[in-house]
Amino acid sequence: MFGPDDEPAVELLWGLVTIPSLSGKEGEASRWLVRRMMDHDLVRCDVDAAGNAVGEIGPADAERVIVLLGHIDTVAGEVPIRLVSNDQDRDLLFARGAVDAKGPLATFVLAAAKLGHAWAEAHSVRIVVVGAVEEEAATSKGARFIRDRFDGAREPIPEACVIGEPSRSRRVTLGYKGRLLVDLRARQAVRHSAGPDAGIGALTFDLWRLVSAEAARYNKGEERIFDQLQPSLRNVNTSCFEGLEDRVEATLGLRLPLGYPHQELEAKLEAWVAEQRRDRAALGFFELELSFRGYEPAWCSDKSSALARSFLR
């Protein structure tokens, strides 16, 4: 929400949300943000090799580094851009990315600018603001590039990293669940619909039942969602190729709790694939492939860390 004293914030955020920036197509928005960073007196502003918009406050050789990591990309879909006044004489901005996460990214730029170079130099702090690309994709290209840049060898490991994501204005998010994507691809010779075979598409639901059963087993006694294994069926597509071959492609998503042994689940699913291949070998042409991608372990910060305490204050 914006009030009458928030014109710079409105201008910056409005400019960001008016530029489409789907994952993988953020170039125009990144270049625009770099120019705005310069306007707000950030230095060493550039679009890096990954496509991230990067700008800094403070000396390049400062003893301490703090990274403010937002993301500039959005998911697909158009949300009409509009400002709507409410009964408290404030404006609400509606737009794709306004909350997730161009709003936090604009906040980072203005917060760094407000602190200014004199403050950063006096405290020997270098603040690096990043508008990362491909956060909404499984690649996380921009964040991985920044992680590798500040590896302690080429550049010092940051003292703290603040991630710009929606978490409500009076809450602090301390962690992220992990992720694993499972892709299924299968094909077989066409079977008659009056026959005993349920069809190639049924493989997806056999896999879903297997993963759901694993989640139910693991989640028993776990009351917090953060501690649970959460499966989702992301998509299912069946097709018939030239009337001769039935095909199915599907993706399952898994949000992983801290410490979840994903290798054990992968082994169970690979055993299921081997079983399906054996059972269908006598029925003619059949292929089934399962692949895993986008793995990220869950992570949680200590609530008593200096960074968490400062936000809670």
Active-site option among 26, 56, 134, 135: 135
* Closest listed residue to residue 136, CA positions, set 183, 102, 171, 185: 102
Task: Name the phi and psi angles at 122, rounded to 5.
Answer: -65, -30
- Distance separating alpha carbons of residues 111 and 25, to the nearest angstrom: 26
**135 tagged catalytic:** yes
Active site (annotated) includes residue 73: yes
**Which of 56, 73, 134, 136 is flagged as catalytic?**
73
Please tell me the distance from the alpha carbon of residue 266 to that of residue 15, in angstroms, as a whole number.
44
Are the beta carbons of 5 and 11 closer than 8 angstroms?
Answer: no
Residues recognised as catalytic: 73, 135
